[in-house]
Structure 1
Amino acid sequence: MTRSIRLDAVLVQAVIAGALSFAHLHDLAAAAGQTGWKAWAYPISVDLLLVAAWRRLRGGGSSRLAWCWFLIALVASLGANVATAGFLDLAHPPAWLRFGVAGWPALAFLGGTLLAHAPDHPADTVDTAPAPAPAVLDVERDPVSAPVPEPKTAVTATEEPPALPVAEPAPAPAPAVPVPAALVAHARKIAADHTARTGVPIDSDTLRARLNVPAVMADAIAAQLT
């Protein structure tokens, strides 16, 4: 019940405000020289243009056009309310007021026509339709147009063969170690004794240990014993 009382109060307030604005527009038009039914047509024209612009805004139409004519109608209605509050001498209206009232019908007709025939959506709406998918080449159905791989060509005679790795030179043989003849003779005796006791020829390691000489010299003596 509270909701219905609030709704009725809003409607009553809207009716009162509309009636006052309607009367102010009528008085202003009558003061500017519009008599009879013409004075009553002016407030109807202003209010209808205001409602048409508001419906265009609510309907999702061109916002710039609707806002333009909504503001024009609002200024006309608000200007009439202020002008009739004693700011203008309606007994002797100025020339610019008579000029504005006389030109209002043509202006209202232009605004109403543009609002009625404007497109429902803005002209700069982006087209969100999906783009067609690119054509895909079907190799199985169209074997003629399928790309054929190019055969690999053999290496011609003018092409240089791949470079072979360069072999590293063999290390130079170690220089011969001079061995005294007396040492060689002594080594023969040791080798003979070792062979007699073990039954196998003496090796260079054993010979080096018995003679107490470097490994290089022991190898050189062993080479002379064979």
Structure 2
Amino acid sequence: MTRPSLRVDAVLVQAVIAGALSFAHLHDLAAAAGQDGWKAWAYPVSVDLLLVAAWRRLRTDGPSRLAWCWFLIALVASLGANVATAGFLDLEHPPALLRLGVAGWPALAFLGGTLLAHSPAARSSAPPTATDPGPDPVAEVDHEPVTVTEPDPAPEPVPVPAAAEAPALPTAEPAPAAPVPAALVDHARKVAADHEHRTGVRIDTDTLRARLGVPPHLADAIAAQLA
């Protein structure tokens, strides 16, 4: 098994050199402002960590005002230290404003790091893309077949016996009613019951005659037996 060869990246080397120089300038500036010992070494660590945290927030969550604000603050602090140590300020007798800025930096860096670590990422304002709505749940429901019941066909007219259709002889007294077959009476009773069930009222003689197809006098006789 061969070991991977170690490649020296020029960009990485340049970044390490630039970081070391910036680290040393921030240390010298903090020491000149009265921060001695480990405190002077903690200032460059704080500035560089805030700069890296803001840049990582920009890379992972996208551009935002919060990340850009703290990135610029850390960048100004780093550049300011590099410029201040180039002879523009008398580090033997630092001005009061420099002492004030160095003394207040820990609280400012703590606030920036907390906001970058715990603030929610800005949501994208782009409208959501249209997705497949999927099958219509209503269309997938299996509908049971509806059974349509057809109305009962109208009963066929019952043939009337020839004797019933014969005209009655004129007499002085009214002739007795013609006999009605029992089968015809039973059929008329079913027709009357069906009519009353559907309409809610009893069947009249004219409707009964039309349903049975019998003469008027026979319909009267059947209606008398149904009453």
Q: Could you say which residue in structure 1 is the equivalent of 2:95?
A: 94
Report sequence identity in percent.
77
1:57 aligns with 2:58: yes
Query: Structure 1 residue 26: deviation in Å?
Result: 0.3
Q: Could you say which residue in structure 2 is the equivalent of 1:114?
A: 115
1:128 aligns with 2:125: no
Q: 4+ residue stretches of structure 1 with deviation over 2 A? A: 123-127, 129-133, 135-138
Q: Could you say which residue in structure 2 is the equivalent of 1:45?
A: 46
Q: TM-score, normalised by structure 1?
A: 0.53
1:12-27 to 2 correspondence within 5 Å? 12-27=13-28
Unpaired segments of 5 or more residues in structure 1? 142-226
The aligned length equals 139
Q: Structure 2 CA distance, aligned partners of 1:50 and 1:136?
A: 53
Q: Structure 2 CA distance, aligned partners of 1:86 and 1:11?
A: 29
Larger radius of gyration: 1
Q: Structure 1 residues 137, 38: CA separation in 2 closer, same or farther (over 3 Å shift)? A: closer
Query: Structure 1 residue 31: deviation in Å?
Result: 0.4
RMSD of aligned alpha carbons: 3.0
SS at match of 2:47: helix
Q: Structure 1 CA distance, aligned partners of 2:40 and 2:137?
A: 72
Q: Could you say which residue in structure 2 is the equivalent of 1:174?
A: none
Query: Structure 1 residue 12: deviation in Å?
Result: 1.7
Unpaired segments of 5 or more residues in structure 2? 1-5, 144-227
8 Å contact from structure 1 (residues 25, 43) kept in 2: yes
Q: Structure 2 CA distance, aligned partners of 1:115 and 1:137?
A: 48
What whole-Å deviation, never above 9, does each CA across 1:162-197 have from its counterpart, x for those lacking one?
A: xxxxxxxxxxxxxxxxxxxxxxxxxxxxxxxxxxxx
8 Å contact from structure 1 (residues 62, 119) kept in 2: no
Q: Could you say which residue in structure 2 is the equivalent of 1:103?
A: 104
Q: Structure 2 CA distance, aligned partners of 1:109 and 1:62?
A: 21
Q: Structure 1 CA distance, aligned partners of 2:138 and 2:30?
A: 75
SS at match of 2:61: coil
What whole-Å deviation, never above 9, does each CA across 1:52-75 have from its counterpart, x for those lacking one?
A: 000000002452111110000000
8 Å contact from structure 1 (residues 62, 118) kept in 2: no
